[in-house]
Amino acid sequence: MVRSPESPVLSISGLVKDVGPLPTLDGKMLRVVSGLSLVAERGQVTALLGANGAGKTTTIECAQGLQKRTHGSISLLGEDPDTAGAALRARVGVMLQDGGLPPSARPIPLLKHIAGMYQDPWPVGELIERLGIDTFSRTSVRRLSGGQKQRLALAAALVGNPEVLFLDEPSAGLDPQSRQLVFELISELRNRGMGIVLTTHLMDDAQRLADYVYIIDAGRNVAEGTVAQLLQHPLPPEAGEQHIRTLLFETDPGLDFTGVLPDGVNVTEARAGSYAATGALTAADLAAITAWWAARGIMPRSLSLEARSLEDVFLDISGREIR
């Protein structure tokens, strides 16, 4: 995917956001975003990937004009979100992490009400059908499941047919069917030219949806690129060769693989009979291990080969410690 230099929907440069003063920091300010930059294009899904507390939500809330930035510049469809008026807000759809829908409201009147704020809204009936809201259209927001609320919040963000769509943790609380539905819609909107900016802490979301990923850690950019580019991110020196892979298989417990595979490959038995061989595995190594099984009459119950995942890249970059 080529990052075109002309007219991005969102461009953030050197964003700094301090919050506080906080009593937990002896009345000092906390810097939650420190010098973050990103660009989001029309017709693409741009993902901000990071752990909880990395500053993703703060960043997009500054872009939406919900929070005032401390330093830096933000251009949303060519305007400063802090001073923008209704005309800009009509071109931007927002789905907040906590939904932001009144608990006593019922889906259809609520969507119709929001649609009234626009000159040419997306027909509410279409949205209701598309997002499967018809199945719970008579239930008040407070009685909806997490996934239903999330779908309604997405509909509310889309009802103005925006040019830019912000989704804060869009797959939170979604069951697999809803997730599929939402992901298909997001892809379709992207193909229609909408610029979509989403935050997620789920690698799978980024891997399935994003055209371009910014990995955020402690309020900073730590890596960026397409998913394919990120997967080629150089490994830390201790990981050795780049083509690191994991071979997972299940067979008889307690086997000793010493001498079967080269030195660089470690075989561990996580549970009895469940093995993982990790390292610079080659085709010859696969041949060696299957020949070894064949010679002993061993047939594995399962066998799979995993390449490096975005999760590994993320953990390599942002560190593996829990914080």
Partner 1 sequence: MTSDSAALGSAPPGSARPVSAAPDRSPGSAPAPLLRRIALQGKYETITMLRNGEQLILAVVLPLLAMVGLTVTPLLDGFGASRINVAVPGILALCAMSTAFTGQGISTGFDRRYGVLRFLSTTPLGRTGLIAGKVLAVLAVLALQVLVVTAVALLLGWQPDPLGWAPGLALLVLGAAAFTALGLLVAGTVRPEATLAITNLLWILLGALGGIVIPAERLPALLESIVHFLPSGALGQAMREAFLSGTVSPVPVLVLLLWTAIAGGAATRWFKWN
- Interaction site with partner 1 (CB under 8 A): 42-43, 64-66, 85-87, 89-92, 94, 96, 98-105, 113-114, 116-123, 126, 129-130, 132, 156, 160-163, 177, 180-181, 184, 187-189, 191-194
Parallel/antiparallel/unpaired status of strands 164-168 and 220-225: unpaired
Q: Which residue has the tokens 């890596």?
A: 223
Nearest distance in Å: CB 76, partner 1: 11
Task: Read off the tokens for 164.
Answer: 């830019």
Q: How far apart are the first and last CA of the chain?
A: 33
Nearest distance in Å: CB 194, partner 1: 5
Nearer to partner 1, 43 or 225 (CB): 43
Nearest distance in Å: CB 51, partner 1: 22
Nearest distance in Å: CB 174, partner 1: 13
Question: 157-190: buried (b, 16+ CB within 10 Å) or exposed (e) per residue?
Answer: bbbbbbbbbbbbbbbbbbeeebbebbbebbeebb
Q: Tell me how far apart the alpha carbons of residues 209 and 235 are, in angstroms, rounded to a whole number.
A: 24
Query: What does the angle CA 84 – CA 88 – CA 90 come to, to the nearest 5 degrees?
Result: 135
Give every CB contact of residue 42 below 8 A, 6+ residues apart in sequence. Answer: 7, 8, 9, 163, 193, 194, 195
Nearer to partner 1, 194 or 281 (CB): 194
Contact 111, 124 (CB under 8 A): yes
Nearest distance in Å: CB 82, partner 1: 12
Nearest distance in Å: CB 84, partner 1: 9
Nearer to partner 1, 184 or 241 (CB): 184
Nearer to partner 1, 161 or 200 (CB): 161
Q: Tell me how far apart the alpha carbons of residues 7 and 193 are, in angstroms, rounded to a whole number.
A: 13
Nearer to partner 1, 73 or 177 (CB): 177
Per DSSP, 25 falls in state G
Nearer to partner 1, 140 or 290 (CB): 140
Nearer to partner 1, 73 or 180 (CB): 180
Closest to 103 (Cα-Cα) out of 129, 136, 75, 142: 142
